[in-house]
Structure 1
């Protein structure tokens, strides 16, 4: 049973409850002062605490999507998938392969023409040779005969770090929200390409082209749009792509829109930060390249490089988010950098968590829809 399985969580909860009841039942028999009784009491208390904390941890992981598997949890992720030896054509099957499908959790979701469809895909970058999975949401219109020649705008949707693409569906409800907005004519139908920014797990590359390492920025700026556009009916004009993410994904979304306005006409960062950190999860991202490090600082980039022709959205909370003051400084800076456009969502209160982002996602997708072309 997998780490995110409901059965694992239910088993942990059941064992915790049974052990708690057993502790209450056997406690009088362990009331003596000999070493066996003391050891028994210590063992029961310790086992009960471990199971309780394990149940809480499993529940939190399901809610927030921190780790996708046991190997991911224990740092033994084997699916590195960074360098793949293919011919110049990217292999016989092309850069994107559909490996599974699932229905959208909406009314009538079993029928793609009504609920749309989520496709699990494997993508291999032609330039970077980065190989990574993704989940692609196709709106109902994509399957309806009257729209058979229509193209759709596409939005790259990124998790935080470490994150799982499944959390964008189960925890943040991106497909369900996009479906509801389009059904109510509050947003146009859009294709969502949902994935985590960690394309070289377990390393956090912060969407940087790491010298002699994963070329993550190039993957998201070039390989991913090319692979998706070659397989699906995505608009061909520069304004057809947007990108959104939370936390680390929010930083990546802003950076990619700023660095690559020719690809991303709009970038939305939910609770983002504005410069790439260096810590044990990232390693040395810049290898002494000062220009690369400066470019990964969005404030520095906007001050020292020509302003990009793109639209940006940032979110924060007056109470509960640590990025509040820095976000205000970022907004003030971008307001002076035409033709870059800046919008914001500022809540009175809200922490760095899924509940806050769920409150921001409907307005974010509406904002995104208004800035993308379907041609």
Structure 2
């Protein structure tokens, strides 16, 4: 029975309720004097309290996904394999890569999500539950991988698909991406409507060392989160799926801490990710109680912290050739002021678009309004690589290099540093 399975959660809750009921029922018999009665009362209190705490802890872990399985909870993870396994067959998927860098996993909560593809994969697509193994970092991160219907269709059998790496907030996890933001469900609808090109989407959490918030940073002497996202994850995906090799096919996407990570990854590693979506993300990374020391001490640590301040980078370093979409709200979002500073600081060759809501707080109700236009936007930034001369959707006239051949290309703008996508009413 999996740590995040619904049946385990129900069983523990029922057990806790039964313990409370038994304590109430037996308490009159335990109200007598004597050692046995006192020990009985103490035992009843302890068992009841432990059962309630376990039920609450399990519910919290299921919601926030600090630990995805029993081995992760107990610290019994195997050493990460160092070899890359190559998938075989026309429709290679994670199912035949049990010893590779992408490994099949249990449901990880996927069985509780509604609206996922049901039916033939070449008609509706598929969502796989996986474990992503870091060859360099030795980290093992849970994930969901969405494969569009075209991935399984005969005419696309030799195509490599663009990739979105979608990162949840902290302390949330991949379940939030599938259940609350409905990333694979929205992507499937947009692809079916011709508003988004066929894209492989890998959904992951931002931390690689739970419960610590690693903020996609290579911590001196600690977890190497940036290396995981910029080297290990792309290598793992390329070993298991038909995905693009060129950076123009890769984009990062996230909300809250995941949005912060997305901007950091693209601006610091433009040869890995050429576009980023940040919904309510921050523009600098600071130490707090959940992160511990991310940068180290002394002058070197201070310099590392400055280099993770995106406004400092725009002012002091050459602008990277990437595209970014940032989202905030005029009322209700603490990052609105920094977002406007970021928009004004961006300069060529970097381009920045925005979704600015009139009002919206730091919660899923806000991000659900933004996720559909954000998915459409990022799809327009990604190329659709090809390995052969198979038919590929043509790029529209006037599209910028690095933008894909999907319907609805992003509008061009004479102002290279700033463009805005207004979203004044609920989307999708």
> What TM-score results when the alignment is normalised by the length of structure 1?
0.79
Asked if the contact 2:117–2:127 (Cα under 8 Å) also holds between the matched residues in 1, the reply is: no
**1:129 is matched with which residue: 122, 137, 142?**
137
Question: 1: CA distance between counterparts of 2:231 and 2:171?
Answer: 23
1:315 corresponds to 2:318: no
CA contact (8 A) 2:255 2:278 kept: yes
Given that 1:117 and 1:138 are in contact with CA atoms closer than 8 Å, whether structure 2 keeps it comes out as yes
Q: Quick one: distance in 2 between partners of 1:58 and 1:255?
A: 32
Q: Deviations over 1:297-337 (max 9, x none)?
A: 11111111100000011111222221111111111111xx2
- In the other structure, the counterpart of 2:383 is 373
Compared with structure 1, are the counterparts of its residues 70 and 96 closer, same or farther at alpha carbon in structure 2 (3 Å cutoff)? closer
| Residues paired across the two proteins, number | 364
1:173 corresponds to: 182
User: How far apart, CA to CA, are the structure 1 residues paired with 2:133 and 2:57?
Assistant: 33
Task: Quote how far apart the aligned CAs of 1:184 are.
Answer: 0.5
Q: Paired residue for 2:202? A: 193
Distance 1:280 1:184 in 2: 44
Unpaired segments ≥5 residues, structure 1: 23-28, 30-47
Structure 1 contact 276–296 (Cα < 8 Å) conserved: yes
Query: How many Å separate the matches in 2 of 1:184 and 1:170?
Result: 21
Q: 1:353 & 1:78 partners in 2: Cα distance?
A: 34
- 1:247 is aligned to 256
Contact residue 275 and residue 323 of structure 2 kept, 8 A: yes
Provide the C-alpha distance between the structure 1 equivalents of 2:121 and 2:240, rounded to a whole number of angstroms: 18
Give 1:291 deviation, angstroms. Answer: 2.2
- My pick for the range that moved more, 255-264 or 202-211, is 202-211
Q: Deviations over 1:97-130 (max 9, x none)?
A: 331487995486132112211223333333x233
Q: Deviations over 1:130-152 (max 9, x none)?
A: 33232211111101112111221
Residues in 2 aligned to 1:278 and 1:107: alpha-carbon distance in whole angstroms: 37
Tell me the SS of whatever aligns to 1:277: coil
Residues 201 and 107 from structure 1, CA distance in 2 versus in 1: closer, same or farther, beyond 3 angstroms? Answer: closer
Match of 1:39 in 2: none
- The CA deviation string for residues 211-267 of structure 1, in whole angstroms up to 9 with x for no partner, is 122221122112211221232111222200000011111111000110111111110
Distance 1:159 1:353 in 2: 12
Deviations 1:65-98 (A, max 9, x none): 576569989xx666597xx474xx4589775233
RMSD: 3.9
2:349 aligned with 1:339: yes
1:232 and 1:250 map into 2 onto residues whose CA distance is: 25
Report the CA distance shift for 1:49/1:341 in structure 2 as closer, same or farther (over 3 A).
farther
C-alpha change, 1:201 and 1:61, in structure 2 (3 Å) is closer
Do the aligned residues in 2 keep the contact of 1:238 with 1:262 (CA within 8 Å)? yes
Extract unaligned runs of 5+ from structure 2.
Answer: 23-27, 29-47, 87-96, 386-428
CA contact (8 A) 2:326 2:354 kept: yes
1:338/1:13 CA distance change after superposition, 3 Å: same
